[in-house]
């Protein structure tokens, strides 16, 4: 028990480092709707937020919804501009923030993040312009683990994973941390063994944070497509975001997630 208490803050700082960085002044994108949900009764006072970009499309037809969850050293602010481009392509885009990150209150944990994502998902599907049959889930790094936790509880048409690990125990064992003491496990491999859907995986083969072997394992589990970035690491795969977006849109078209 004492060893667990000593390791908890170390592991939390490794898994959720951004929560320890005070949020600086940020500008909320003009085109983004800011959605805030109250923390649950166990999460403390305050709220968690998300940015929502409505699809730039004419007509009254329902539009696909893309939900993106970011990496552990990032904020939704960092991804707002790149992902707004998907809205110009006709998708609604939701960027939910983790509790304890940026302007969101509370303390991050796997259980808390999962609960928040489920509530954001349910909130968005009450919007009459969202097509519940064409939800796309996308996550980067630990955000891949978070989005797969949502997938375990809510359906999606397609899944996109970026630099994602199979599970935290598998990942942190390489750093000499005992998996048995982990509170947050994000065991995507176990979830994906029981779910079948079109999956696209992006990973750099020189990733020193989440080894490339995790991408190979996820591809084997899902039977999905793997896009390898030769010579790239964990944080430099998506410098050509326009090219990345085109690849994702081509994949989503084939998966039936776009349409008219």
pLDDT in tens, 141-183: 999 999 999 999 999 999 999 999 999 999 988 777 777 778 8
Residue ranges, the chain, pLDDT below 50: 1-7, 20-21
The residue ranges of every structural domain in the chain are 2-254
pLDDT of residue 112: 95
Using left for φ > 0, alpha for ψ between -120 and 50, and beta otherwise, residue 25 falls in beta
CATH class of 2-254: alpha beta
* Model pLDDT, residue 134: 98
Q: What is the pLDDT of residues 56-73, one digit of tens each?
A: 976 668 999 999 999 998
């Amino acid at each position: 028990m004492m060893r667990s208490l000593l390791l908890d803050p170390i592991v939390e700082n490794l898994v959720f480092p951004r929560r320890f960085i005070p949020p600086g002044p940020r500008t909320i994108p003009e085109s983004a709707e800011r959605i805030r949900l109250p923390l649950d009764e166990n999460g403390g006072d305050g709220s968690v937020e998300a940015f929502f970009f409505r699809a730039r499309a004419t007509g009254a037809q329902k539009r696909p919804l893309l939900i993106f969850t970011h990496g552990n050293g990032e904020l939704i602010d960092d991804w707002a501009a790149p992902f707004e481009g998907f809205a110009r392509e006709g998708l609604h885009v939701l960027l939910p923030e983790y509790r304890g990150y940026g302007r969101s209150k509370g303390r991050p944990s796997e259980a808390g993040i999962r609960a928040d994502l489920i509530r954001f998902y349910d909130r968005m599907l009450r919007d009459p312009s969202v097509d519940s049959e064409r939800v796309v889930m996308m996550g980067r790094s630990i955000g891949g683990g978070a989005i797969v936790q949502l997938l375990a509880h809510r359906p999606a048409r397609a899944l996109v994973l970026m630099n994602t690990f199979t599970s935290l125990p598998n990942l942190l064992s390489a750093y000499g941390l005992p998996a048995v003491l982990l509170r947050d496990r994000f065991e995507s491999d176990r979830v994906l063994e029981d779910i079948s859907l079109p999956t696209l995986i992006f990973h750099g083969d020189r990733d020193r944070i989440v080894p490339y072997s995790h991408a190979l394992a996820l591809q084997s589990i899902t039977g999905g497509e793997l896009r390898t970035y030769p010579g790239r690491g964990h944080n430099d795969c998506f410098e050509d975001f326009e090219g990345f977006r085109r690849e994702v849109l081509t994949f989503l078209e084939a998966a039936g997630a776009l349409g008219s």
